[in-house]
Amino acid sequence: MIPTILLAAYGAVLIGIALASLKYSHSIENFLVAGRKQRKLFVVASMLASTIGGGITIGTVSKAVTMGFPAFWFVAAGGIAHFLQGIFLSRKVRESEALTMPDLAGGLLGQPNRLLVSAIIVITWTGLAAAQFVAAAKVITTLTGLAHQPAVAVAAGFLVVYTLIGGQKSVLRTDLFQFGILALALVGTLAWLFLAKPPAPGALTVELFNASFKPLDLVYYVVVVGGSYLICPMMFSRVLSSDSPANARRSSFVSGAGMFVFAFAITFVGLWAKASGLDAGGLDPLNAIAAKVLPPALGVALVMGLLAAILSTGDTVLMTAASVFEHDVLKRDRVNGVRFWIVAVGLVAALVALFSTDIIGLILKTYNGYTAGIVPVLFVALVLGKERKMNPALAFAGIAIGYALGTAGSFQAAASPWSRLFPMLGLAASAALALASAYLKPTLNKN
């Protein structure tokens, strides 16, 4: 009863914040990039909240139980990407004054590429929204005992309503304290597990490779998963909302460091569960720890922290897909249009989530095509900037071929090496065509 009351009260607080932010949502710029006036603290917190969400947290702990320490790379790859983003991209992205990532791509590569990038983002981020709904459903099940499908309906309904009311302003306002809740809960959980119930000596092992994680898997995680953080419409929306290019760059560095810290924390919670032989009893390992191992107060705090993190990621995912569809596919700038597409994306994602429970598997399948197609071409275009005009046709071919090969990997069995090789072949093909579009018969841009 008490967890259900807490859940309802928390939801009411978030809806209240969204309603308070409604007055800032009268223009498309305010609705999508919060007026480009956000301080570094809010940008960093939102970057971390949007990347280290509850889905990633729950999924990484589950992976650590099955594959051991290498699960660390699922989050740490994002940390590496954020450092690279700070070195090469953040300042240029903020200086572009674009509203969305496809808007930026259109300025660099032409309108056909803008449309292709937009379509890929909408498809990919609908899949990511489904993963967040699955994660939220797991937490709601732990708190209330609801079955998976009703829990998905509750999670999807709340996230859609909360996001469409307040827009980016309410997302940034709530990300700071929502990530704070998760951070405190994770640190408290890690400390309690290893101090109050430490695993037996020798039961916990840290190894870079094992039977479940080979060198090819490490390359895949760092390149494919990391690439999805390097060129990411969610991260670019945070960069574009920053109050200055300099703070945008600093925010990428700070968020990268934060991802490494939390990669260790999340992974070691999973290693504790593996070493202790935790009986999850039908729950995922992290929710099982909250329900069966931790003291009641800390267990509730962890579950609420997970829910907060899921909401922080879920609202950003919905906002990203909907804004790209309205602004870049339909080429309109109506706030109510974005709201309509938030509902539409939410409905499609909820249908996927009703019949799926594997969070990390769902995320990886959506990342494969996106990273292989978009990341190399847009990275080259941003690094070169206006100094060298890229051939739009070759760039289009690079995105399309890379996406097709990456998506082919998503249709392979998880144990097949081709599930890793296809996305990396797609990355290689996309990168080669991106470089060819820039350096084959190079044309300097005199403008």
Write down the pLDDT at residue 54: 64
Write down the pLDDT at residue 35: 62
Phi, psi at residue 97, to the nearest 5°? 60, 20
Tokens of 231: 């060129």
Write down the pLDDT at residue 446: 45
Cβ–Cβ under 8 Å, residues 434 and 231: no
Cα-based torsion angle of the residue sequence 305, 306, 310, 311 in order, rounded to the nearest 10 degrees: -30
Structural domain contains residue 447: no
Structural domain contains residue 404: no
Structural domain contains residue 195: yes
Cβ–Cβ under 8 Å, residues 93 and 112: no
Residue 267 is part of which domain span? 2-368
- Amino acid (1-letter code) at residue 345: V
Structural domain contains residue 393: no
Cβ–Cβ under 8 Å, residues 302 and 290: yes
Write down the pLDDT at residue 103: 92
First to last CA, the chain: 65
Write down the pLDDT at residue 333: 84
Tokens of 387: 């100094």
C-alpha span between 144 and 222 (Å, rounded): 37
Structural domain contains residue 416: no
**Nearest-CA neighbor of 111 among 322, 323, 321, 328?**
328
Write down the pLDDT at residue 26: 61
Residue 388 β-bridge partners? 444
CB atoms near residue 237 (< 10 Å): 28
Write down the pLDDT at residue 171: 65
Structural domain contains residue 408: no
Write down the pLDDT at residue 11: 79
Tokens of 119: 């379509």
Cβ–Cβ under 8 Å, residues 305 and 185: yes
Residue 94 belongs to a domain with what CATH number? 1.20.1730.10
Write down the pLDDT at residue 444: 45
Which pTM was predicted? 0.85
C-alpha span between 320 and 342 (Å, rounded): 9
- Number of domains comprising the chain: 1
Structural domain contains residue 68: yes
- Residue 363 CB partners (closer than 8 Å, separation 6+): 55, 56, 59, 127, 128, 131
**pLDDT tens-digit profile, the chain (447 residues):** 666 787 788 778 777 777 776 665 566 666 666 567 778 888 888 888 778 876 688 889 999 999 999 999 989 999 999 999 999 999 999 998 788 899 999 999 999 999 999 999 999 999 999 988 998 888 888 888 889 999 999 999 998 988 887 666 666 667 777 788 888 999 999 999 999 999 988 899 999 898 889 998 999 989 988 999 999 998 898 888 888 999 999 999 999 999 999 999 999 999 999 999 998 888 889 989 999 999 999 998 888 888 877 877 888 889 889 999 999 999 988 888 988 999 999 999 999 999 887 777 788 888 899 999 999 999 999 998 777 789 999 999 999 999 999 999 999 988 889 999 999 999 999 999 999 999 885 544 444
Tokens of 417: 């090496």
By three-state DSSP, how is residue 37 classified? coil
Query: Would residue 415 be called left, alpha or beta, if left means φ above 0 and alpha means ψ between -120 and 50 degrees?
Result: alpha
C-alpha span between 423 and 431 (Å, rounded): 12
Structural domain contains residue 445: no
